Structure 1
Amino acid sequence: MVFDQVNGLPVHALVLHAAVVFVPLLALGAIVYALVTLWRPKIGWALGLLAVIAPISALVAKLSGTELYNRLIDEERVSPAGRAILDQHMDYGSMTAWISIALGVVSLVLVALTWRNPRALPRVADLAFAVVIVVLAGLSAYYVFKTGDSGATAVWGSY
């Protein structure tokens, strides 16, 4: 119930934009941090904050979206076509949350390992982190887009 409503407004409508902003910022920051070692001392603190805030915002958006979905279904306010769109939106939102959590964890590990010395990692480990971060960042950007697009279709589409 915590994630359902605030003063009659769906929490989901209030918090989803945080994930839309913070998850792509995490993706971009993680890529820069992984690939540009000279910038690590300057942006490590920001990446550390984003690695915590972005997954939390995605998780809160997912949990509040689940509450909104359940209320709409219980009140029978969704057509069968609308339900299919919402089901897909829920799947995309779940993937966004999980991938942003993974990207946040990997980013925090990289920051922790390179905090005092940006070049502390062996070249192979640095390259491995870069590959994993680029893949996770790409996936997180893709799923944020797909989640937002399917959510906008659910709200504004004619179905």
Structure 2
Amino acid sequence: MKTVNGLPAHVLLVHAIVVLLPLAALLLALTALWPAARRRLAGPNLVLSLLVVVLVPITTNAGEWLEHRLTPSPLIGKHTALGDTAIYAAVAVAVLALLVWWRQREGAGRTPVKRVFLAPASGGVTATLTVVALLVAGGAVYDVIRIGDSGAKASWSDWAAQP
């Protein structure tokens, strides 16, 4: 996907990432911390997180297509380099969302086998998973902010420099 209705697809797709990746990170933190939210939102957040993992490469590929049609600049280069890190944040959020969802299923006895892989009754595992989920969620939001800020600077620096 290169253009949508005459606009570069990247400038449209990026809005989905800017909203959905922080939303998935927020839901990850919420489901890791709050058992009532975990029961209701762990499954939907897993689906959302996987959607983001699919959307990030589509968005970065559209961005690379756009980059090759612009005049090279250090700001665009920085944005491109930072944009390549979004997949790591998205995958980390998705993996943690999967772990939170699976532990919820194990704790509720809804796994296909009676084995318990992630020790849903273990306070130590719960605390570790919660801390890691909070760190990953915070890192993902920070990554989106850094990428977005660099993209805004690359897009609008010429305009801002005018009197």
TM beyond 0.5: yes
Deviation at 1:116, TM superposition (A): 5.1
Aligned CA RMSD, in angstroms, stands at 1.9
The residue number in structure 2 matching 1:19 is 17
Q: TM-score, normalised by structure 2?
A: 0.82
Q: Tell me which residue corresponds to 2:56.
A: 58
For 1:10, the equivalent position in structure 2 comes to 8
Amino acid at match of 1:85: L
Structure whose CA Rg is larger:
2
CA-CA distance at 1:86 after TM superposition = 1.0
Q: TM-score, normalised by structure 1?
A: 0.84
1:92 aligns with 2:77: no
Tell me the percent identity.
28
Alignment partners' CA distance in 2, 1:131 and 1:105: 14
Match of 1:155 in 2: 155
Find the residue that maps to 2:22 and give its secondary structure: helix
Cα distance in 2 for partners of 1:136, 1:4 equals 31
Equivalent residues, number: 149
Determine the C-alpha separation between the residues in 2 that align with 1:59 and 1:143. 15
Q: 1:21: Cα distance to partner?
A: 0.4
What residue in structure 2 maps to residue 46 of structure 1?
44
Aligned partners of 2:74 and 2:9: how far apart in 1? 22
Q: In the alignment, which residue of structure 1 is the partner of 2:144?
A: 144
CA distance in 1, matches of 2:6, 2:87: 25
Gaps of 5+ in 1: none
Give the whole-Å Cα distance in 2 for the aligned partners of 1:44 and 1:115: 9
Secondary structure of the structure 2 residue equivalent to 1:71: coil
Displaced runs of 4 or more, over 3 A:
none
Amino acid at match of 1:155: S
SS at match of 2:107: coil
Q: Which moved more, 1:116-125 or 1:141-150?
A: 116-125
1:117-136 Cα distance to aligned partner (Å, 9 max, x none): 26924111111111211111
Residue 85 and residue 123 in structure 1: after superposition, are their counterparts in 2 closer, same or farther (change >3 A)?
Answer: same
- Matched AA of 2:49: A
Residues 28 and 96, structure 2, Cα contact 8 Å, conserved in 1:
no
